[in-house]
Amino acid sequence: MCPFQGDVDAAVKQLLELKAQYKTAAGTDWKPGQAPAPQPAASQGGAASLNDQITDQGTLVRDLKTKKAAKGEIDAAVKKLLDLKAQYKAATGQDWKPGQTSAAAPAPAGSSSADDLNQKITDQGNLVRDLKGKKAGKADIDAAVKMLLDLKAQYKAATGKDWKPGQVSASSAAAPAPAGSGSSDALNLKITDQGNLVRDLKGKKAGKADIDAAVKLLLDLKAQYKAATGQDWKPGQVSAPSAAAPAPAGSSSADDLNQKITDQGNLVRDLKGKKAGKADIDAAVKLLLDLKAQYKAATGKDWKPGQAPPVAVTPVAPAAADLNEQITAQGNLVRELKTSKADKVGGV
């Protein structure tokens, strides 16, 4: 078996294991696009996570079918999709439907609710464009568009104004956070995501207004990063880790590091694929190696593609929410490995 196939098989195996864990935690199979019905706060996050996972898994199934992947891979992806849908039904009491979203209570402008809606609208818009680009079925596109419109309506109810590409809610007047704080880490991730969005819009030759709005938001985020850390943002930049004892394996720290390593590996591949400057690539690779070192310190073992930290015994709802994020990230890793043939940063 070639090294590439081994990486893909390991990643797919981890994806299936995460889905099985999700079913155990939530009592239902994960399904893409499923949105939770209104329920107590303790389980709301889990249902929302399942909805996101179901949507992502549905996209993966369609992608595998379009690429005429092996029957075994398609069957495994479909099985996971059905498992997620079952978990969703167990968590919400209703079958998952494309475009279904839970009713959100209006939140004041500038709150985390408005920020979350802004991110969801951006992601949903990307999904709609992806479905149209792949010439998906009319029912799938209509369901995705309906969900996008619902999210925009929620945003207007929460902020009192229409959503526009690149719009960011007003930040609360707070003192700049010290370098290495959660604030700078969050901004670093947002800048990376927004940069990817700008490149995606340019690659798809989107309208000038959409590109300009996305670039404006990117510059705003970089300005916030400089205000919070006292230095300009650079690709691959990471804040100094705080002096804290290593977190036990299976803790949220290990989960977070696993996600950051996956995202950073994607960034390295993206920079290499776009033939970015050597300094940018070296900085991104350095950050990737730093994250892997932190992972080893936290878990006691080297990070491997598709490897997930041991899952701690936690209440059903939080575990389901965490697993949903891990499944989504693992699905992205599987697609990335297949697309890149796992040979550009396999040795990093």
- Facing residues of 84 across strands? 30
Q: Which residue has the higher pLDDT, 319 or 115?
A: 115
Q: Read off the pLDDT of each residue in 296-306 and give the average, rounded to a whole number.
A: 84
Within the chain, where are the H helices?
Answer: 3-26, 41-66, 71-92, 112-133, 138-159, 182-203, 208-229, 252-273, 278-299, 316-340
Q: 332 falls in which pLDDT band (50, 70, 90)?
A: confident
Q: Read off the pLDDT of each residue in 85-95 and give the average, rounded to a whole number.
A: 86
- Facing residues of 220 across strands? none
Buried b (16+ CB within 10 A) or exposed e, 3-37: eeeebbebbbebbbbbbebbbebbebbbbbbbbbe
Please state, in angstroms and rounded to a whole number, the distance separating the CA atoms of residues 34 and 50. Answer: 7
Q: Output the pLDDT for position 244.
A: 41
| 104 and 182 assigned to the same domain | no
**Within 10 A of 38 (CB to CB), how many other CB atoms are there?**
11
Q: Output the pLDDT for position 245.
A: 42
C-beta separation of 56 from 32 below 8 A? yes
- Tell me how far the alpha carbon of residue 213 is from its chain's centroid: 22
Q: 44 falls in which pLDDT band (50, 70, 90)?
A: very low
Q: Would 116 be classed as within a structural domain?
A: yes
| 35 and 87 assigned to the same domain | yes
Q: Would 280 be classed as within a structural domain?
A: no
| 73 and 193 assigned to the same domain | no
Please state, in angstroms and rounded to a whole number, the distance separating the CA atoms of residues 325 and 334. Answer: 14
Residue where a domain terminates, one of 127, 156, 172 = 172
Residue where a domain terminates, one of 213, 229, 245 = 229
| 48 and 166 assigned to the same domain | yes
| 28 and 135 assigned to the same domain | yes
Please state, in angstroms and rounded to a whole number, the distance separating the CA atoms of residues 300 and 304. Answer: 13
Q: Give kind and range of the element (H or E) at residue 72.
A: helix 71-92
Q: Would 38 be classed as within a structural domain?
A: yes
Please state, in angstroms and rounded to a whole number, the distance separating the CA atoms of residues 176 and 224. Answer: 9
Q: Output the pLDDT for position 151.
A: 87
| 188 and 144 assigned to the same domain | no
321, 331, 339: which is closest to 77 by C-alpha? Answer: 331
**Within 10 A of 168 (CB to CB), how many other CB atoms are there?**
16
Please state, in angstroms and rounded to a whole number, the distance separating the CA atoms of residues 10 and 306. Answer: 6
Q: Output the pLDDT for position 11.
A: 81
Q: Which residue has the higher pLDDT, 65 or 108?
A: 65
Share of the chain above pLDDT 70, in %: 74
Q: Output the pLDDT for position 82.
A: 92
Structural domain of residue 187, as residue ranges? 177-229
Query: How high is the mean pLDDT of the chain?
Result: 75
Q: Would 223 be classed as within a structural domain?
A: yes
C-beta separation of 277 from 236 below 8 A? no
Please state, in angstroms and rounded to a whole number, the distance separating the CA atoms of residues 202 and 197. Answer: 9
| 82 and 143 assigned to the same domain | yes
Share of the chain above pLDDT 90, in %: 3
Q: Would 71 be classed as within a structural domain?
A: yes
Statement: residue 97 has pLDDT above 70: yes
C-beta separation of 91 from 47 below 8 A? yes
Q: Would 10 be classed as within a structural domain?
A: no
Q: Would 66 be classed as within a structural domain?
A: yes
Statement: residue 147 has pLDDT above 60: yes
| 205 and 104 assigned to the same domain | no
| 150 and 181 assigned to the same domain | no
User: Considering its fold, how many domains does the chain have in total?
Assistant: 2
Q: 4 falls in which pLDDT band (50, 70, 90)?
A: low
Q: Would 303 be classed as within a structural domain?
A: no
pLDDT digits 0-9 by tens, 212-251: 888 988 898 898 888 888 888 888 766 544 434 444 444 4
Statement: residue 296 has pLDDT above 60: yes
Q: Output the pLDDT for position 108.
A: 45
Please state, in angstroms and rounded to a whole number, the distance separating the CA atoms of residues 217 and 198. Answer: 10
| 126 and 106 assigned to the same domain | yes
Phi and psi torsions of 39, nearest 5°: -155, 175
Please state, in angstroms and rounded to a whole number, the distance separating the CA atoms of residues 72 and 99. Answer: 28
Statement: residue 295 has pLDDT above 70: yes
C-beta separation of 93 from 140 below 8 A? no
Query: Global pTM?
Result: 0.26
Which of 88-92, 171-175, 208-212, 245-249 comes out lowest in average pLDDT?
171-175
Q: Output the pLDDT for position 78.
A: 92
Please state, in angstroms and rounded to a whole number, the distance separating the CA atoms of residues 207 and 181. Answer: 36
pLDDT digits 0-9 by tens, 13-28: 888 888 888 777 777 7
Statement: residue 290 has pLDDT above 50: yes
First-to-last alpha carbon distance for the chain, in angstroms, is 21
| 215 and 146 assigned to the same domain | no
| 184 and 130 assigned to the same domain | no
Q: What is the CATH number of the domain that holds 201?
A: 1.10.287
Task: Record the tokens describing residue 322, joined without a space.
Answer: 């965490």
